Chain A
Amino acid sequence: MSLRKTKEFVGFAILRLATFLILFALFIILYFIGVRGIKVINWQFLTQKPCEGMTSGGILPAILGTFYLTLCAICFALPLGVAAAIYLTEYAKEGRLVRIIRIGINNLSGIPSIVFGLFGLAIFVKYFGFGVSILSGGLTLGILILPIIIRASEEAILAVPESFREASLALGATKWQTIYRIVLPNAISGILTGSILGIGRAAGETAPILFTAVTFYSARLPASIFSEVQALSYHIYALMTEGIHPETQIPIAYGTALVLLFLVLGIDLVAIVIRKKARKRKW
């Protein structure tokens, strides 16, 4: 074997090894959580409230809580993010202001999530007086995922070929007509795919909802968006740090983790399905 071929072989071997290591890590996590969590998962675990000081029963309030929080985050962040992305890509003239906005958005995604939690506490819980509630937590999560949604939407909008816009404008369409008749219908699958990935992120976050939405235990299921809720991520944290019966509570924590994992993977799966469907009819 020549030296060049040897170098190539070694190079590819390293790349392959790196890929397998990553897969291996993912597999280990799934396996580790899976074997520990599967023991406690049954129908009651998914459909009942916790009981006996959270040493038995199910995690239904936490599942619902995470669902409501995520839903609230989407309702807030999706329209806002898409609107901002349309403005930035279609209307705003490249200049200092847009550069500053972009830098701002990029930095928003670099802020530690606990800082969002503090911000949410100060603004939504205290200043707006929403209290510790689904609304406060959902809005905080929404801000957290805004950069993801904006960037995904911008990419999807920019991926719509310029020739479609030209054709529309040349027929006498206004810019706005062009955007909602041509650009958005063709960008929507990309926007949704990117946004759903952001939503998966929101579902798994703990820190932003720590001070803004969650409670250790609630006897009732949430009644309105002003109720405080249990959430899967915080439930794990609470069981592991504040539980006084570790022998029964740690397995419940693993079960909860497995449910959360499947929830997030499920959300990502939806994104993949949407992307697959949209791919069939591309320009």
Chain B
Amino acid sequence: MVNKIISKKEVKISIRNLNIWYQDMQVIKNVNLDIEKNKVTAIIGPSGCGKSTLIKSINRMLDIIPEAKVRGTILLDSQNIYEIDETLLRKRIGMVFQMPNPFPKSIFENVAYGLKLHRVFKNREEVYFKVEKALKQAALWDEIKDNLDKFALDLSGGQQQRLCVARCIALEPEVILFDEPCSALDPIATAKIEELIEKLKQNYTIVIVTHNMQQAARISDYTAFLYLGELVEFGPTQKMFTTPQNKMTEHYLTGKFG
């Protein structure tokens, strides 16, 4: 079923025969998946099915978990991610986490953090420019533009999450991974994040893990349904939500389990 859905030219990330274990427990079983450039790909599935593990393998965040063992191939623009230095890989593939996790610094310092790590600026003016641009793209600028020195943890949960998005896109990544970005947010903040993702896909390739099927239906172009570590079904969202090919997908989407 791999690769008949997306033409080869448009593939940004290609996952082949991916198997992941935590110690002896296999959490990802032979997953093959292509992610199209400048589209939103949603990964859905019940809790504990391996969604977060799958997404974390893409920017090699599993490297920091000693028990995790990864086998298989993940290609970013046809290059094996394990041939790219992990710090540079993570600069190209940004990540927004489930719980908003801004640093206990000012708003400005949060967004400038990645720029300083990679020294991707010539002077102070450029830092300001890039911070402003990122905050604007993350739809946070209008709310905090007079208050860049404000302590980031004093922002509301939704603002904190958009700050995390700004921090991520300040580095101008190619891909943004969202790991259940709205599960700690209220409906209004969730709507804002969804609106933001909609806008971001013009410039970025987006992968989003969500346990909220309505969310996947609303914002994604492609949906992958993961169950017990296996990729059960993958296809254009519209098609999958109207005519799922697999009985299990249908049961999950209609709420018979999950």
Which positions in A face B, CB cutoff 8 Å?
Answer: 93, 161, 163-174, 177, 181-182, 186, 281-283
- Contact between A171 and B113 (Cβ–Cβ < 8 Å)? yes
Q: How large is the interface on B (under 10, 10 to 19, 20 to 34, 35 or more residues)?
A: 20 to 34
**Can you identify 21 A-B contacts, CB atoms within 8 angstroms?**
A164-B104, A166-B61, A166-B101, A167-B97, A167-B101, A167-B103, A168-B113, A170-B59, A170-B61, A170-B168, A171-B90, A171-B167, A171-B168, A172-B86, A172-B89, A172-B117, A181-B117, A182-B103, A186-B104, A281-B151, A283-B153
- Contact between B97 and A173 (Cβ–Cβ < 8 Å)? no
Interface string of B96-123 (1 = CB under 8 A from A): 0101011110000000011001100000
Q: How far is A167 from B66 in the complex, measured between Cα atoms in Å?
A: 18
- B95 neighbours in A (Cβ, 8 Å): 170
Residue on A nearest B102 in the bound complex, by CB: A167
Q: How far is A191 from B6 in the complex, measured between Cα atoms in Å?
A: 54
- Contact between B101 and A169 (Cβ–Cβ < 8 Å)? no
- The yes or no answer to B1 lying at the interface (CB within 8 A) is no
The residues in B between 164 and 194 inclusive whose CB is less than 8 angstroms from any CB of A are: 164, 167-168, 171
- Contact between A172 and B153 (Cβ–Cβ < 8 Å)? no
Where chain A touches its partner, the secondary structure class is helix
Residue on A nearest B151 in the bound complex, by CB: A281
- The yes or no answer to B25 lying at the interface (CB within 8 A) is no
Which positions in B face A, CB cutoff 8 Å?
Answer: 59, 61, 64, 66, 86-91, 94-95, 97, 99, 101-104, 113-114, 117-118, 151, 153, 164, 167-168, 171
Q: How far is A207 from B89 in the complex, measured between Cα atoms in Å?
A: 56
- Contact between B171 and A171 (Cβ–Cβ < 8 Å)? yes
- B89 neighbours in A (Cβ, 8 Å): 172
- Contact between A171 and B117 (Cβ–Cβ < 8 Å)? yes
- Contact between A172 and B114 (Cβ–Cβ < 8 Å)? yes
7 further A-B contacts with Cβ under 8 Å, apart from A170-B97, A170-B168, A171-B117, are: A166-B61, A167-B101, A168-B103, A170-B59, A171-B91, A172-B86, A172-B118
- Contact between B117 and A167 (Cβ–Cβ < 8 Å)? no
- A177 neighbours in B (Cβ, 8 Å): 117
- Contact between A172 and B99 (Cβ–Cβ < 8 Å)? no
Tell me which of A163, A169, A171, A281 has the highest count of chain B C-beta atoms within 10 A of its own C-beta: A171
CB distance from A95 to the nearest CB of B (A): 10
Q: How far is A128 from B60 in the complex, measured between Cα atoms in Å?
A: 49
Residue on A nearest B109 in the bound complex, by CB: A181
What 4 pairs across the A-B complex have the smallest Cβ distances?
Answer: A172-B91, A163-B101, A172-B90, A171-B114
CB distance from A253 to the nearest CB of B (A): 49
- B61 neighbours in A (Cβ, 8 Å): 166, 169-170
- A281 neighbours in B (Cβ, 8 Å): 104, 151
Residue on A nearest B87 in the bound complex, by CB: A172
Q: How far is A161 from B61 in the complex, measured between Cα atoms in Å?
A: 16
CB distance from A278 to the nearest CB of B (A): 11
- A168 neighbours in B (Cβ, 8 Å): 103, 113
Q: How far is A282 from B103 in the complex, measured between Cα atoms in Å?
A: 11
B66, B91, B164, B167: the one contacting A93 at CB < 8 Å is B66
CB distance from B134 to the nearest CB of A (A): 12
Q: How far is A283 from B153 in the complex, measured between Cα atoms in Å?
A: 7
- B99 neighbours in A (Cβ, 8 Å): 163
Residue on A nearest B116 in the bound complex, by CB: A181
- Contact between B87 and A173 (Cβ–Cβ < 8 Å)? yes
Residue on A nearest B92 in the bound complex, by CB: A172
Q: How far is A236 from B168 in the complex, measured between Cα atoms in Å?
A: 62
Q: How far is A93 from B65 in the complex, measured between Cα atoms in Å?
A: 11
CB distance from B65 to the nearest CB of A (A): 10
Assuming the contacts A163-B97, A167-B97, A177-B117, asked whether A172 and B88 have C-beta atoms less than 8 A apart, the reply is: yes
Tell me which of B91, B102, B113, B167 has the highest count of chain A C-beta atoms within 10 A of its own C-beta: B113
Tell me which of A165, A169, A174, A282 has the highest count of chain B C-beta atoms within 10 A of its own C-beta: A169
- A167 neighbours in B (Cβ, 8 Å): 97, 101-103, 164, 167
B90, B153, B167: the one contacting A169 at CB < 8 Å is B90
- Contact between A166 and B114 (Cβ–Cβ < 8 Å)? no
- Contact between B101 and A164 (Cβ–Cβ < 8 Å)? yes
Tell me which of A163, A164, A172, A182 has the highest count of chain B C-beta atoms within 10 A of its own C-beta: A172
- Contact between B104 and A173 (Cβ–Cβ < 8 Å)? no
- B94 neighbours in A (Cβ, 8 Å): 170-171
Residue on A nearest B153 in the bound complex, by CB: A283
- B168 neighbours in A (Cβ, 8 Å): 170-171
- A163 neighbours in B (Cβ, 8 Å): 97, 99, 101
Q: How far is A11 from B154 in the complex, measured between Cα atoms in Å?
A: 43
- Contact between A173 and B117 (Cβ–Cβ < 8 Å)? yes
